[in-house]
Amino acid sequence: MKLSLPDIFNAKKVKVLAAQVEELTKAVAASQKGSMKGYASEWAQFPGLSTLRPDARLSYSILNKCYKRSSAVRPAVDGIVREITTLPFTIDGYPGKKFDEGHKTAVEALLNDPNRNKETFREILAKALTDVLVYDAGAIEKVKSPSGKLVELMARAGDTITPIGDEHGVLEQYVQNVAGKKQEFEKNEMIYMMLYPRAGSLWGMPIIESIVDEVGTLLYSNEHIAKSFTDDEIPPGILSLGEIGKEAYKDAKEDFKVHKGQKKDFKLRVVHGSKDVAWIDLKRPNREMQLDELRTSIERIIFRNFGVVPIQLGEVSDVNRSTALIQMQIAQSRLIMPIVHLLSYYVDKEIIQDEFGFFDVRFVMHLRVFEDEDPESRAMDRLVRIGVKSINMVCAEKGWTPAGPGGDRRFVIVGKRVLFVDELEKMKSDETSKEPSKTPKTPEEVPASPKDNGDGHDGGGEPSRRGKLERAA
Task: Tell me: do 251 and 199 sit in the same domain.
Answer: no
Looking at residue 138, its pLDDT comes to 93
The last residue of a domain, from among 267, 290, 313:
290
Burial of 99 (0-12, 13-18, 19+ CB in 10 A): middle
At position 18, the amino acid (one-letter code) is A
Strands in 166-290 per DSSP E: 171-178, 181-186, 190-193, 197-198, 201-204, 237-240, 269-271, 278-281
Residue 18 lies in a domain: no
State CA 53 to chain mean position distance: 26
- Give, for 29, the enclosing helix (H) or strand (E): helix 11-33
At position 162, the amino acid (one-letter code) is T
Residue 5 lies in a domain: no
Cβ–Cβ < 8 Å for 302, 79: no
Residue 458 lies in a domain: yes
- Write down the H helix ranges in 316-429: 321-331, 337-346, 374-385, 391-398
The whole-angstrom separation of Cα 280 and Cα 54 is 59
The last residue of a domain, from among 311, 340, 370:
370
Cβ–Cβ < 8 Å for 172, 165: yes
Residue 10 lies in a domain: no
Q: Burial letters for 173-188: b for 16+ Cβ neighbours within 10 Å, e otherwise?
A: ebbbbbeeeebebeee
Task: Tell me: do 132 and 264 sit in the same domain.
Answer: no
Looking at residue 44, its pLDDT comes to 39
Q: Which residues pair with 280 in a beta bridge?
A: 238
The whole-angstrom separation of Cα 329 and Cα 345 is 22
Task: Tell me: do 275 and 154 sit in the same domain.
Answer: no
Upper half-sphere CA count for residue 455 (Cβ side, 13 Å): 5
- Give, for 140, the enclosing helix (H) or strand (E): strand 138-144
The whole-angstrom separation of Cα 188 and Cα 56 is 27
Task: Tell me: do 75 and 171 sit in the same domain.
Answer: yes
How many residues can be counted in the chain?
473
Task: Tell me: do 101 and 193 sit in the same domain.
Answer: yes
Cβ–Cβ < 8 Å for 66, 212: yes
Q: Which residues pair with 177 in a beta bridge?
A: 182
The whole-angstrom separation of Cα 328 and Cα 312 is 8
The last residue of a domain, from among 258, 290, 322:
290
Residue 225 lies in a domain: yes
Task: Tell me: do 283 and 360 sit in the same domain.
Answer: no
Looking at residue 45, its pLDDT comes to 39
- Give, for 71, the enclosing helix (H) or strand (E): none
Looking at residue 43, its pLDDT comes to 42
Looking at residue 209, its pLDDT comes to 84
Angle at 441 between CA 436 and CA 444, to 5 degrees: 150
DSSP code for 244: -
Cβ–Cβ < 8 Å for 249, 294: no
Task: Tell me: do 453 and 433 sit in the same domain.
Answer: no
Residue 284 lies in a domain: yes
CA dist list (Å): 315 to 207, 304, 310, 324: 22, 15, 5, 10
Residue 4 lies in a domain: no
Residue 9 lies in a domain: no
Looking at residue 269, its pLDDT comes to 60
Torsion of CA 396, 398, 400, 405, to 10 degrees: -30
Task: Tell me: do 122 and 55 sit in the same domain.
Answer: yes
pTM of the model: 0.61
Residue 302 CB contacts under 8 Å (≥ 6 apart), including other chains: 70, 72, 73, 76, 211, 214, 215, 218
Mapped onto helix, strand or coil, the DSSP state of residue 438 is coil
Residue 467: domain span:
443-472
Looking at residue 284, its pLDDT comes to 56
Residue 185 CB contacts under 8 Å (≥ 6 apart), including other chains: 37, 38, 141, 173, 174, 175, 176
The total number of structural domains that make up the chain: 4
- Write down the H helix ranges in 243-333: 246-256, 287-306, 321-331
The whole-angstrom separation of Cα 335 and Cα 84 is 10
Task: Tell me: do 450 and 414 sit in the same domain.
Answer: no
Looking at residue 95, its pLDDT comes to 79
Cβ–Cβ < 8 Å for 231, 223: no
Looking at residue 299, its pLDDT comes to 79
The whole-angstrom separation of Cα 37 and Cα 174 is 12
Total Cβ atoms within 10 A of residue 446: 16
Task: Tell me: do 269 and 302 sit in the same domain.
Answer: no
Task: Tell me: do 228 and 310 sit in the same domain.
Answer: no
Binned average pLDDT, 10 residues per bin, the chain of 473 residues? 55 64 64 67 42 71 86 86 90 86 94 92 94 93 91 92 86 87 91 88 85 75 62 56 66 60 53 63 60 73 77 56 58 75 92 93 82 68 86 82 80 84 75 56 54 54 55 55
Task: Tell me: do 46 and 69 sit in the same domain.
Answer: yes
Torsion of CA 107, 110, 112, 113, to 10 degrees: 170
Looking at residue 270, its pLDDT comes to 62
At position 355, the amino acid (one-letter code) is E
The whole-angstrom separation of Cα 355 and Cα 362 is 13
DSSP code for 57: S
306: nearest Cα among 122, 68, 130, 69: 130
The whole-angstrom separation of Cα 320 and Cα 205 is 36
